[in-house]
Amino acid sequence: MSNVPPISPRDKAEILAQALPYIRKFHGKTMVIKYGGNAMTDPELQADFAEDVVLLKLVGINPVVVHGGGPQIETALKRLGKTGHFIQGMRVTDAETMEVVEWVLAGEVQQDIVGLIHQAGGKAVGLTGRDGGLIRARKLKMVDQADPSKEHDVGQVGDIVAIDPAVVKALQDDQFIPVISPIGFGDQNESYNINADVVAAKLATVLQAEKLLMLTNIPGVLDKQGELLPELTMDRIDELIADGTISGGMLPKIAGALDAARSGVNSVHIVDGRVPHVLLLEILTEQAFGTMIRSA
Ligand SMILES: Nc1ncnc2c1ncn2[C@@H]1O[C@H](COP(=O)(O)OP(=O)(O)O)[C@@H](O)[C@H]1O
Ligand SMILES: CC(=O)N[C@@H](CCC(=O)OP(=O)(O)O)C(=O)O
């Protein structure tokens, strides 16, 4: 902190004034913010995140937070002597793992975020996909990426059947900030564990959000040499998946991002949640961050 040169009052005023055209442009617009489990490990950054969300709301933008919690689920499973196992970026979810997922996401992570937003002066409401019938799901049929004739059984991992955004809209209208855990429900009232990137992308599409921002623990999508790719289109994404450059947790993220971009979400970005106040910087300044996913 002490190495950062002080900003003069004039520079501070200029920075604030720069935000004006963005505030005007985005007033009344919805922004879906995916807050990844890997981006929420530092308490100071978590407080910055909550302040940014509150500030966005106060200037008339409608933030909707969808949170993850992969590392937090992993810690809880370890305490029970279980090891997490992923196939193509999805956690293989048996009945016991499902219980842990619900307890960690809805009980712990979501409530921490809700609390931080309250501390920052905002009004947040935590929801799972069950609340208001928000996320209807069924068991995901996972086709092998390399060999489409092969299928993987990933247990209670959900594929989204439908999103009913009524509860989100009602909360927004009453000036609340929705904080959503990626848990869906099925026809028999069973629970499904859904990747948070997939939920954020689908919700952004259904709400016709202006932006979808996915906060993670990496500067964006990187090429084979580890260099940041500032922009990506579908063809390039296909190549990067085929040659193994994009793998693991980046697979559902990029698939969701591309889906949202192609379904009318104006701008979709994968950004580094470790940059303090990255939300304000990305939304209210001219600076570009991370990787922007383009529809074509
Ligand atoms: N080409 C790539 N560029 C950047 N990250 C990648 C790439 N391929 C795989 N990854 C992995 O994807 C991870 C991000 O996904 P994930 O761990 O699910 O994050 P989050 O919890 O934020 O959703 C990165 O930390 C990195 O390990
Ligand atoms: C099916 C599946 O993989 N679900 C995820 C849900 C949480 C999540 O997506 O968290 P991050 O955004 O932090 O990765 C999981 O169990 O880890």
Please give all residues whose beta carbon lies within 6 A of any atom in ligand 1, as ranges: 36-39, 68, 70, 197, 216-218, 221-222, 245-250, 253
State whether the beta carbon of 191 lies less than 6 angstroms from ligand 2. no
Give the pLDDT band (50/70/90) at residue 223.
Answer: very high
Span of 60-64, 144-148, 252-256 with lowest mean pLDDT: 144-148
**Hey, whose CA ends up nearest to atom 4 of ligand 1?**
221
Rounded Cα–Cα distance for residues 245 and 86 (Å): 18
Chain-centre distance of CA 100, in angstroms?
A: 20
**What's the one-letter identity of residue 210?**
E
| pLDDT computed for residue 63 by the predictor | 98
Give pLDDT tens digits for 276-289.
999 999 999 988 88
Average pLDDT of the chain, as a whole number: 94
Secondary structure of the chain as H, E, C letters:
CCCCCCCCHHHHHHHHHHCHHHHHHHCCCEEEEEECHHHHCCHHHHHHHHHHHHHHHHCCCEEEEEECCHHHHHHHHHHCCCCCCEECCEECECHHHHHHHHHHHHHHHHHHHHHHHHHCCCCEEEEECCHHHCEEEEECCEECCCCCCCEECCECEEEEEEECCHHHHHHHHCCCEEEEECEEECCCCCEEECCHHHHHHHHHHHCCCCEEEEEECCCCCECCCCCECCEECHHHHHHHHHCCCCCCCHHHHHHHHHHHHHCCCCEEEEEECCCCCHHHHHHHCCCCCCEEECCC
| pLDDT computed for residue 154 by the predictor | 97
Rounded Cα–Cα distance for residues 248 and 148 (Å): 18
Give the pLDDT band (50/70/90) at residue 7.
Answer: confident
Residue of 73, 195, 216, 218 to mutate, ligand 2, most atoms within 8 A of C-beta: 195
Q: Taking Cα atoms as reference points, which of 208, 196, 212 lies closest to residue 135?
A: 196
| 271 bridge partner residues | 215
- Domains assigned to the chain: 26-279 (3.40.1160.10)
Overall average pLDDT of the 181-196 stretch: 98
State whether the beta carbon of 252 lies less than 6 angstroms from ligand 2. no
Q: Taking Cα atoms as reference points, which of 114, 107, 113, 39 lies closest to residue 70?
A: 39
Give the pLDDT band (50/70/90) at residue 1.
Answer: very low
| pLDDT computed for residue 110 by the predictor | 98
pLDDT score of 219 more than 70: yes
| pLDDT computed for residue 81 by the predictor | 96
Query: 68 a known binding residue?
Result: no
Overall average pLDDT of the 26-49 stretch: 95
Query: 189 a known binding residue?
Result: no
Give pLDDT tens digits for 62-116.
999 999 999 999 999 999 999 999 999 999 999 999 999 999 999 999 999 999 9
Give the pLDDT band (50/70/90) at residue 274.
Answer: very high
Overall average pLDDT of the 143-158 stretch: 94
| pLDDT computed for residue 276 by the predictor | 94
Query: 294 a known binding residue?
Result: no
Overall average pLDDT of the 234-257 stretch: 92
In this prediction the ipTM stands at: 0.96
Give the pLDDT band (50/70/90) at residue 10.
Answer: confident
Overall average pLDDT of the 144-172 stretch: 95
Provide the whole-model pTM.
Answer: 0.95
